[in-house]
Amino acid sequence: MAALSTKPHSHGAVVPVTSRAEHFTSYDVNAFEVPGGREEIWRFTPLKRLAGLHSGAAATGTAAVEVSAASGVTVETVGRDDSRLGTAGVPGDRVAAQAYSSFENATIVTLPGDVKSEPTTVTVTGAGVDAVAYGHIQVKASQFAEGTVILDFRGSGAYADNVEFLVADGAHLTVITIHDWADDAVHVSQHHVKLGRDATIKHTVVTLGGNVVRVTPVVQYAGRGGDAELFGLYFADAGQHQEHRPFIDHAQAKCRSNVVYKGALQGEGAHAVWIGDVLIRVAAEGTETFELNRNLILTDGARADSVPNLEIETGEIEGAGHASATGRFDDEQLFYLQARGIPEDQARRLVVRGFFQELIAKIAVPEVRERLEAAIEAELEAVGT
Amino acid sequence: MATLEIKDLHVSVVSEDAPKEILKGVDLTIKAGETHAIMGPNGSGKSTLSYAIAGHPKYTITSGTVTLDGEDVLEMSVDERARAGLFLAMQYPVEVPGVSMSNFLRTAATAVRGEAPNLRHWVKEVKGAMADLDIDPAFAERSVNEGFSGGEKKRHEILQLGLLQPKIAILDETDSGLDVDALRVVSEGVNRYKASGEVGVMLITHYTRILKYIQPDFVHVFANGRIVESGGRELADVLESEGYVKYTGKTEAAAIS
């Protein structure tokens, strides 16, 4: 794909003005100022469209949480006072803190240790048009557990939440989060991943529907040998704002991370934002990390902002790199396919499908893969209409 | 009997400031069963001719006509030209990440043939065609041209030629960058395709070496955007010994000395 700009680096060339290490976190919403829109972490987000999630909107409804649990997986609905909650991480912005301060019940899904579990699906349905709701989900993979959890967000309304992923020592957790909201929906979400020793997570975020979707996945390592793979796949249509802000906090030695987010954009006002932060602290010797974001702009009027930030506080690392490329549709690819007789619309679909193929191929759940392929197909049907 | 007729073709390319005329009146007729070698120095416009016929958007036809069996090629979209029976084997085949070669070939064959080929026959056909060109079957599951060597890309261009069965094939410097074995394999592929039916070939090349494998019926010397001399096979021999100096005023070898 011809990229308008490609900036691969083998070292940290983009150093943010303020270190990610100094970012403020708190469980208390009142510890945060109401953002005005100029703050670094809010400057890309259309605050006016957040339905007051950032400025103290009270809950007017409840999002329905349904869990289809695999055999052996336990599901609990607990109150806010459950001491297990909040252990994977601390809210990093006002909306996350608002959600943490506001939810009434939390859902805890626990994968049993030392066995392989079938996929579990958690479906969250918004509280409805013009309603505001807050939620909290915790997914725990016990020691040496192996399994997949699918989070499926649908429906209408404004919704803010924290989702915790506690991956115990030696556990392997696969997470697929699908934001398939209705057109009016607003969702601001922080994911907190805490990886134990030799624990791995394969964390995929899919964002298709919704008016505004802003997801901040934060990964922390509690021991050596942790491995985080963060994948993202998004398709922004006219008027949609989709923002993904992965942050990998390397504070332990010998851990790995790999971040790959790819998005396609089409239509007037389609806006994708990707802020990829990686911090390698002094203690994180032997770290290996790479982050990549690619955007494919299919039509005029769409806009992608892509900012990789890499901070390295130790020289003793295996490798660290990042790349970001935003390109228009590649006319040479189109010409090549057409020159073999393939009609233009079909050729476009082949190229876009190909663009996402690398990520779709990594999704091990066939139903989810098929659903995504169908969703991309449906998005492409809309091109040019 | 397919006939490609190019008459007084003028083509410009839009560069940074003003359009630049590259083809300055090309006349050429290629009939089924004939092989025409177009030989010329670098920058003479040979590749532009091939891309203009295929319909690359970078090039603008300012005057002249191109017809295939009387049909106006210039009025057709790129894919319509291919479906009408034109094929361009490109000098620099394009990589298409995430699209497997097998999916691409089947999609192209379906488009050109007007119906999806019978799956069982198709798999056999592709396997056989790949074996003929010494292509490892594993390539079928790789992304189109991605990470292929120059020689692998050219073999796959000829693979497509054989599977899509065009009436007129334009081979744009298919020989460039090939080692001796690859040149032989690729040339045999072209000859098999020629033998398979009444097809016309436009063989664009800088060097004469491919003409040892693929016999041309006509040789045209291309210089400064037009055909400046035409003849038979013997013209290639003259170019081999004398180069293009006579046409360009510069010394540029047509053979690798």
Mean pLDDT of all residues in A99-113: 97
Contact A355 B97 (CB under 8 A): yes
B80 domain-assigned: yes
How many domains does chain A divide into?
A: 1
Q: Is A354 among the domain residues? A: no
Q: What is the ipTM of this complex?
A: 0.95
Q: How far is CA B215 from the centre of its chain?
A: 15
In a domain, B47, yes or no: yes
Question: A350–B55: do the CB atoms touch at under 8 Å?
Answer: no
Domain assignment of residue A4, yes or no: no
* Residue range A219-237: mean pLDDT, rounded: 97
Rounded CA-CA distance A153/A97 in Å is: 20
Q: Taking residues A340-350, what's their average pLDDT? A: 94
Residue B25 lies inside a defined structural domain of this protein:
yes
pLDDT tens for A36-58 read 999 999 999 999 999 999 999 99
Residue B78 and residue B112 in contact, taking contact as beta carbons nearer than 8 Å: no
Residues of A in contact with B87 (CB under 8 A): 339
Q: Is the pLDDT reported for residue A358 higher than 60?
A: yes
Is residue B142 in some structural domain?
A: no
Does residue A77 have a pLDDT over 70?
yes
Chain A hits for B54, Cβ within 8 Å: 335, 339
Q: What are phi and psi of A333, to 5 degrees?
A: -65, -40
Question: Is B78's CB within 8 Å of A346's CB?
Answer: no
Residue B131 placed within a domain: no
In tens digits, what is the pLDDT along chain B, a chain of 257 residues?
799 999 999 999 987 778 899 999 999 999 999 999 999 998 899 999 999 999 999 999 999 999 999 999 999 999 999 999 999 999 999 999 999 999 999 999 999 999 999 999 999 999 999 999 999 999 999 999 999 999 999 999 999 999 999 999 999 999 988 999 999 999 999 999 999 888 999 999 988 999 999 999 999 999 999 999 999 999 999 998 888 888 877 666 666 54
Number of domains chain B is built from: 1
Q: Is residue A133 part of a domain?
A: yes
Q: pLDDT: is A3 or B137 the higher one? A: B137
Closest chain A residue to B100, measured at CA: A354
Mutate to test the interface with B, among A233, A294, A342 (most CBs of B within 10 A): A342
A258 falls within a domain: yes
Q: Considering only alpha carbons, which residue of chain A is nearest residue B170?
A: A339
The verdict on residue B19 lying in a domain is yes
The whole-number average pLDDT for the span A285-313 is: 95
Q: Contacts by B76-81 with C-beta closer than 8 Å and gap 24+?
A: B77/A338, B77/A344, B78/A335, B78/A338, B78/A339, B78/A344, B78/B54, B79/A338, B79/A339, B79/A340, B79/A341, B79/A342, B79/A343, B79/A344, B79/A347, B79/B111, B81/A339, B81/B53, B81/B54, B81/B55
- Amino acid B253: pLDDT: 66
Give the CA count within 13 Å in the CB-facing half-sphere of B233.
11
A355 belongs to a structural domain: no
Asked whether residue B140 is domain-assigned, the answer is no
Choose the closest CB to A353 out of B57, B90, B98: B98
Q: Does some domain include residue B133? A: no
Q: Is the pLDDT of residue A7 over 50?
A: no
CATH number at residue B24: 3.40.50.300
Domain containing A27 equals 20-330
In a domain, A49, yes or no: yes
Q: How many CB pairs under 8 A join A and B?
A: 82
User: Whole domain around residue B92: which residue ranges?
Assistant: 3-96+165-248
Whole-number pLDDT of residue A3: 37
Per the domain annotation, does A79 fall within a domain?
yes
Q: Highest mean pLDDT range out of A10-14, A129-133, B178-182?
A: A129-133
Q: Tell me if A230 is assigned to some domain.
A: yes
